Structure 1
Amino acid sequence: MTPSSAVLALRVLDVNDNAPVFSQAEYTVRVPEDVPVGSVLVTLKATDADEGLNGQVKYSFHKISDRASELFNLDSETGEITVKEDLDFEEISSHELKVRAHDGGELSDTAEVMITVTDINDNVPKISVRSVTVREDMAVGSRVLKVTATDRDEGPNAEVKYSFFQIPEKFDKTFKMDPESGEIVISENLNFEEHEFYELVVQARDAGGLSSHNLDIICWSILLPYLLPKGTRIWL
């Protein structure tokens, strides 16, 4: 009896025994708040050692705040995170996103994305003062008022300098302003008979913008007679 032999071809089928793996567990991004809508901030990458559907990776947000979901978009195919709306450093300066990479089965991996929004000089200083009344006998060097301005930016972008803007020549020597503190002082004697009203323009300037504001200074003479209301009777 002659022995016989046969060649058997065995095909090993892939099973989904490998989970996707991100190239890094954490991604850190710094972006200025004026980054254009549609810009790609970061591209996440995960690989899967399986084949076919078991090795196809899709991306989705795993944990994200409501506001971040309005600001950022994640492409499920490419892993690109893009900007959907204008960012605002003054509103929220950092966002923490958790992204999930999953294959054709139920296996997955997660990665953290930290997006830090950096400040730009997009807010001008705002001055609130409008008018002030002074007596004409106030001594030279007396403080009239201290102008203050608020700037919503941070750091050097929020550092404010003060000055008069195009002050009339006739008032140039009457008042002085400290550029650092915003303090306005009298620099020469006031005279109600010459000027009973001063209109000045105050300017607060930051690193890249400025804000001008009218300032009315009303001079009050201590020699003005007190006028009684009409019909008032006086008994001596």
Structure 2
Amino acid sequence: MAPWLPDILRNPLAALIGDACTKTLIDELNIFDPLCLRHAVSKGLGLGIVLGGCIVKLPQLFKILNAKSVAGISLSSYVLEVLANAITLAYNFRQGYSFTTYGEALFIGVQNIVITLLILAFTGRTMIGLVTSVSLLVFTYVLFDASFVGPSILSVLYGLTIPLVISSRIPQIYAIHKNKYTGQLSAFAVFNYFFGTAARLFTTMVEVDDSLVLIGAVLAVVANGVLAAQMLYFWNAQAPQDKYRLDTKKTK
């Protein structure tokens, strides 16, 4: 059957889901083909996750700037998450996986670095923030260069991101449990992160034949699910005394 969809629409679709599935689903209108339907849904979700990753942490960033406070936000959680983002990005890129299966790590990582610097700035550690940002950039560059980090070492590092993902959430989960308050933590970011990781689990199961990636996706859903549950439980909790406001810091 000859293609009926204009090339201006068909070509981007074919680039996303492939010529074979475009022919099956679009040209032949066989929308119930199980393999192509699952593949198309996975690609669509993956693209949505990547696009969502461009903005998922922006509400958190703006909330910090508007409040001039980092109350309730764990620095160690963000540092660990940035490390996991960098390793995830390098591993998937060097493995040759589709960008739609991991691309959000790039955009979320950049936003996490900015938030990490804000946390350091609002707690009077600006110089440490500059050193940290340079160190993270160098670390990321090294991961992408096979002459510095070989495939076997990178696989080990990626395996370490599995406990790293959990570790990055534990300080934040503990901080909320201890304070009984979510502080300046963005509900939009938390819930979007949870639903995004759930969707990423589906795309991983469909497109990526890699047990390390699958285990990481499962644990990310669990960890983000706990954080989302805390957000709901402490939704109307009263704020304790905020000692992390920039405008209340003592000056010498």
- TM-score norm. by structure 2 comes to 0.21
Give 1 or 2: higher helix fraction.
Answer: 2
TM-score (norm 1): 0.22
Larger Rg belongs to = 1
Structure with higher RCO (Cα < 8 A, 6+ apart):
2
